[in-house]
């Protein structure tokens, strides 16, 4: 897998690069700002670009804008955003910038090495990886406004959140310490209550859920 | 050492005192001399056989400078500036009027000729009085107005500095402590990986990583309390849109804002809307809310209306805090919440130059 990274904080950038290289991810180029990101993406056509939300010169949402630009110009390049905060506005913009190949994680998640690498691979493969806090916020915000979300049981809501993070059924089963069969039962119940068409494709499934959450956002 | 005591106790008191004393003594001396001259002329008149009482003209001549001096000195006691000018004018007017009336009395009370000069003097005095009281604010008032101007400017400056400082702190947290904690958490993660064969040590490292994550989360909450990132990045309208989307009830947002107001106003307006929407979510089950925001050259107005149960306590915890925040910016916060007829919270924040 070939990756590029745009992160202005050298300490963090070098750490992530070292971490990825230890796990056979080929980091082909590094940038420190949005313009640099676009340059290295066009030069290297990586599988995935790992991007910090805050980049110079404005240190505001430069990274989000650059990531959306990357998605528009090179739809085959997956983007994983790293941020120190959850900002639903930015997540929503990224999610609507194309299908799949997108992730939004809180920065501290890089400390959980296996989960972080899993997220990088999933996004590079065209899947999604949303931080559980992002998902929790989306689901939480819609509760109360929407009777159908209230109809979900606590267990089903948990499954929905894990599913929106981009986890597979096996991953959800591990996280909830239940059998994959139980997860499948929950999922079909959720799809039933939310009136979503079932599908075998993981990221389409996630996107269907997110599209539903956004659509009911009014 | 004693520098603080000296001016207060010793210096100011004697100065005006001495001056008053000098003036009083001079006036008394002049009065005594005048009285002596008057008595002398009257005696001469009596000795020379009386007749028409001519010494009264001497008395008048002697009294005039005394009266002028006395009146003007009294007038000078009023506060400096236009007020004192008017007092001097009034004192001269009184002396002149008395003089003219005495002249008329002493010259045999013929046709009342002093009416003409007195009318002219009165008009002049009235015009002067009108100018002083109406056209130009009194000195003291202008001083106060200047002071208020200065205080308004400096308070606003202080608040702007404070807002900028808070954002700088937030930036420093992000680039400093938070970044280091993230790096720490990552190093711990890498160490944990290599300790797969020593599960007990790996567990310790994992717990250390958990602590680092908790610290990062706390710093994140702290930074968000200063100003949410989307507010700093994209401005008030975008931040309020985000709030509306995250609210559990339907919220309509109407914004007529075509530029970024100063950060201190943005933040205040944002927290007004956030608090108002939180209140709707808490108390107005099934209610809908509408947020209207408008910015013109003079003020930023935000208004949050809901069709909930009303009856909100305008001084209640959150609202009281907001009121202080808005008042510090010379703004006003009004809460209209009749029972059973919804709640409107409106903040007006002046943003003139």
CA distances from B219 to A11, A138, B206, B335 (A): 19, 22, 20, 33
Query: Mind listing the pLDDT tens digit for each residue in B102-122?
Result: 888 888 888 888 899 999 999
Band of pLDDT at residue A198, cut at 50, 70 and 90: low
> In this structure, what is the dihedral angle of CA atoms B317, B321, B326, B327, given to the nearest 10 degrees?
100
| Weakest-pLDDT range from A204-218, B96-110, B279-293 | A204-218
Lowest mean pLDDT: which of A44-48, A205-209, B18-22, B48-52?
A: B18-22
pLDDT at res. B293: 96
CB A191 within 8 A of CB A160: no
Q: In the numeric block, which tokens belong to residue B248?
A: 């559990």
- Say if strands B299-306 and B289-295 run parallel, antiparallel, or are unpaired: antiparallel
More confident residue, B277 or A147: B277
CB contact under 8 A, A108 and B234: no
Asked whether the predicted pLDDT for residue A148 surpasses 50, the reply is yes
pLDDT digit string (tens) for B295-323?
Answer: 998 999 999 999 988 888 877 767 888 88
pLDDT band at residue B21 under the 50/70/90 scheme: low
Q: Is B191 a residue whose pLDDT tops 70? A: yes
- Collect all residues of chain A within an 8 Å Cβ-Cβ radius of residue B216: 84, 106-108
Q: Give the residue from chain A lying closest to B176, CA to CA.
A: A9
Q: Which of A11, A114, A141 sits opposite B183 (nearest CB)?
A: A11
Residue A74 scores a pLDDT above 60: yes
The predicted structure's pLDDT at residue A147: 59
Residue to substitute from A64, A85, A111, interface B, most B β-carbons within 10 A: A111
What is the b/e burial string over B165-203, where b = at least 16 CB atoms within 10 angstroms of the residue's CB? ebbeebeebbeeebbebbbbbbbbbbbbbebeeeeeebe
Q: Rounded to a whole number, what is the largest CA-CA distance in chain B? A: 142
Does B242 contact A87 at a Cβ distance shorter than 8 Å? yes
State whether A89 and B247 contact (CB < 8 Å).
no
List the A78-83 sheet strands across, edge first.
Answer: A26-31, A2-6, A48-52, A78-83, A102-106, A128-130
Per-residue pLDDT band for B229 (boundaries 50, 70, 90) equals confident
Is B11's pLDDT higher than 60? no
> For position A24, what pLDDT does the model report?
93
Residue with tokens 């030069």: A43
DSSP conformational letter for A210: H
Q: Rounded mean pLDDT of A45-66? A: 91
- Number of neighbouring beta carbons within 10 Å of residue B313: 11
Instruction: Give the closest residue to A46 by CA, choosing from A62, A63, A33, A31.
Output: A31
* Residue A110 near chain B (CB below 8 Å): yes
How far A54 CA lies from chain B's nearest CA (Å)? 10
Distance CA B129, CA B148 (A): 26
- ipTM exceeding 0.85, yes/no: no
Residue B37: both structure tokens together = 């001259």
Q: Give B9's pLDDT tier (boundaries 50, 70, 90).
A: very low
pLDDT band at B5 (very low <50, low <70, confident <90, very high): very low
Residue written as token pair 């085959």:
A76
Distance CA(A215)–CA(B5), nearest Å, equals 75
How many of the other CB atoms lie within 10 Å of CB of B348? 17
**How many C-alpha atoms does A64 have within 13 Å on its Cβ side?**
26
Q: What is the pLDDT of residues A88-125, one digit of tens each?
A: 778 878 877 777 788 999 999 999 999 999 999 989 99
DSSP A78: E
Contacts of A18 in chain B (CB under 8 A): 190
Taking an 8 Å cut-off on Cβ atoms, the answer to whether A111 and B228 are in contact is no
**Cα distance from B342 to chain A (closest Cα, Å)?**
19
Cβ distance B190 to A113 less than 8 Å, yes or no, reads yes
- Residue B17's pLDDT band, with cuts at 50, 70 and 90, is very low
Chain B residues whose CB is inside 8 A of the A65 CB are none
Structural domain spans, chain B: 22-138, 142-226, 234-350
The better pLDDT of the pair A77, A136 is held by A77
pLDDT at A49: 96
Could you tell me how many residues make up chain B? 353
Q: What is the CATH number of domain B234-350?
A: 3.30.565.10
Measured on CA atoms in the order A43, A45, A49, A54, is the torsion positive or negative? positive
Residue A204: pLDDT band (50, 70, 90) is low
* pTM of the full structure: 0.66
Residue B319 CA to chain centroid, in angstroms?
Answer: 23
For chain A, what is the mean pLDDT? 84
């Amino acid at each position: 897998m070939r990756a590029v990274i745009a992160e202005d904080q050298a300490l963090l950038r070098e750490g992530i690069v070292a971490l990825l290289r230890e796990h056979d991810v080929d980091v082909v180029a590094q940038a420190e700002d949005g313009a640099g990101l676009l340059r290295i993406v066009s030069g290297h056509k990586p599988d995935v670009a790992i991007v910090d939300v805050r980049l110079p010169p404005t240190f505001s949402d430069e990274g989000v804008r650059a990531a959306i630009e990357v998605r528009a110009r090179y739809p085959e390049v997956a983007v994983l955003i790293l941020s120190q905060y959850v900002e639903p506005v930015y997540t929503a913009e990224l999610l609507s910038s194309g299908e799949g190949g997108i992730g939004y994680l809180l920065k501290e998640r890089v400390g959980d090495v296996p989960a972080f690498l899993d997220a990088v691979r999933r996004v590079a493969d065209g899947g999604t990886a949303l931080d559980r806090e992002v998902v929790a916020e989306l689901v939480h915000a819609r509760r109360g406004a929407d009777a159908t979300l209230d109809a979900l049981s606590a267990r089903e809501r948990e499954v929905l959140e894990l599913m929106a993070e981009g986890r597979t059924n096996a991953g959800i089963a591990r996280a909830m310490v239940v059998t994959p069969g139980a997860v499948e039962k929950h999922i079909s119940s959720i799809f039933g209550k939310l009136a979503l068409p079932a599908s075998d494709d993981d990221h389409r499934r996630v996107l269907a859920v997110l599209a539903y959450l956004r659509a009911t956002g009014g | 050492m004693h520098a603080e005591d000296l001016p207060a106790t010793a210096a100011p008191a004697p100065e005006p005192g001495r001056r008053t004393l000098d003036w009083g003594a001079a006036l008394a001396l002049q009065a005594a001399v005048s009285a002596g001259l008057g008595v002398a002329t009257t005696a001469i008149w009596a000795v020379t056989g009386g007749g028409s009482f001519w010494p009264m003209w001497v008395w008048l001549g002697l009294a005039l400078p005394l009266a002028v001096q006395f009146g003007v000195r009294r007038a000078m006691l009023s506060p400096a500036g236009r007020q004192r000018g008017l007092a001097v004018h009034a004192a001269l007017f009184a002396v002149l009027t008395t003089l003219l009336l005495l002249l008329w009395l002493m010259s045999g009370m013929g046709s009342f000729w002093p009416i003409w000069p007195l009318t002219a003097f009165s008009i002049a005095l009235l015009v002067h009085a009108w100018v002083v009281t109406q056209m130009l604010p009194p000195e003291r008032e202008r001083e106060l107005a200047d002071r208020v101007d200065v205080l308004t400017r400096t308070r606003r400056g202080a608040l702007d500095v404070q807002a900028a400082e808070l954002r700088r702190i937030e930036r420093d947290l992000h680039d400093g402590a938070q970044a280091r904690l993230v790096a720490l958490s990552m190093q711990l993660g890498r160490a944990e990986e290599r300790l797969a064969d020593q599960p007990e040590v790996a567990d310790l490292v994992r717990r250390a990583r958990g602590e680092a994550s908790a610290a990062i989360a706390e710093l994140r909450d702290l930074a968000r309390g200063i100003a949410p990132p989307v507010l700093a990045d994209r401005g008030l309208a975008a931040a309020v849109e985000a709030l509306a989307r995250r609210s559990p009830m339907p919220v309509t947002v109407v914004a007529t804002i075509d530029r970024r107001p100063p950060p201190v106003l943005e933040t205040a307006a944002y927290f007004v809307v956030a608090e108002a929407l939180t209140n709707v979510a808490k108390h107005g089950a099934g209610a809908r809310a509408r947020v209207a925001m408008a910015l013109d050259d003079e003020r930023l107005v935000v208004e949050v209306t809901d069709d909930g149960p009303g009856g909100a306590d305008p001084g209640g915890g959150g609202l009281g805090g907001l009121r202080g925040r808005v008042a510090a910016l010379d703004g006003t916060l009004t809460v209209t919440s009749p029972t059973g007829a919804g709640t409107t919270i409106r903040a007006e924040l002046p943003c003139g130059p």
